[in-house]
Amino acid sequence: MTTDTMKSDAALASTRFLAEEEDHDHGGGGATLIGFWIYIMSDALIFATLFAVFGVLGSSYAGGPTPREIFELPTVAVNTAMLLLSSITFGFAMLEMEAGRLRPTQGWLVVTALFGMAFVGIELHEFATLIADGATPQRSAFLSSFFALVSTHGLHVTIGLLWIAVMLVQLNQRGLHPENLRRMMCLSMFWHFLDVIWIGVFTFVYLFGVIR
């Protein structure tokens, strides 16, 4: 099979997938996306609960360190940039996918994963620094709620990275098959959802914490 034929098949598969997604009367593709939207909403409820808990306990320092004393906003800003850039590169991967180009799709996924790993690495370094300085989850209600919220988000990003790795393997094995395109759509929703949640964390936890 020639390269041109492979590209033609991939473009045809992509067009077929998009057509199926637009047709509400057919197939499990639409049902899969709807089901994944329901999952996203349930996950949003988990984060809403964690945000609410932090809102209640975020000022209970128990004589321990305050946000202004332990948060390093420049570092957090760099970490935020890593995740936002990963969202942009994932968007490029989706554009390449819709154009039926397999290798560029995989390439942008790899770049996305690198940004995601940088985000997780910086976050782990922040946690290690806080714990070394005695700002552990047991120190105060503020720190307990902080670690619960931020680590839950970090765990989701880690799961997303594993999903990207699996997706790269599946794309390498089966190419831009309609099933892989549907999985990419779900992964895209999941990844962008985590970006939105992090913007809330950065604003509500870090910025407001330092200001007040």
* Average predicted confidence (pLDDT) for the chain: 89
pLDDT at 30: 74
pLDDT at 28: 55
Residue 1: burial class (beta carbons within 10 Å; 0-12, 13-18, 19+): exposed
Which whole number is the average pLDDT over 2-30?
Answer: 47
Q: Which two tokens stand for residue 182?
A: 């549907």
pLDDT at 20: 47
Work out the end-to-end distance of the chain between its first and last CA atoms, rounded to an integer number of angstroms: 64
Q: Express each pLDDT in 121-150 by its tens digit.
A: 999 999 999 999 999 999 999 999 999 999
Which whole number is the average pLDDT over 66-84?
Answer: 96
At 29, is the pLDDT very low, low, confident or very high (cuts 50, 70, 90)? low
Kindly write down the DSSP assignment for every residue of 118-175, as one continuous string.
HHHHHHHHHHHHHHHTT--TTT-HHHHHHHHHHHHHHHHHHHHHHHHHHHHHHHHHH-
pLDDT at 5: 43
CB atoms near residue 83 (< 10 Å): 24
pLDDT at 3: 43
Q: In the predicted model, is pLDDT for residue 19 greater than 60?
A: no
Which whole number is the average pLDDT over 64-90?
Answer: 96
Q: Express each pLDDT in 149-184 by its tens digit.
A: 999 999 999 999 999 999 999 999 999 999 999 999
At 18, is the pLDDT very low, low, confident or very high (cuts 50, 70, 90)? very low
Q: In the predicted model, is pLDDT for residue 8 greater than 70?
A: no
pLDDT at 6: 41
At 9, is the pLDDT very low, low, confident or very high (cuts 50, 70, 90)? very low
Cβ contacts of 205 within 8 Å, gap of 6 or more: 54, 58, 67, 146, 149, 150
- Helices and strands of the chain, counted as H and E runs: 8, 0
Q: Which of 8-12, 90-94, 109-113, 188-192 has the lowest mean pLDDT?
A: 8-12
pLDDT at 77: 96
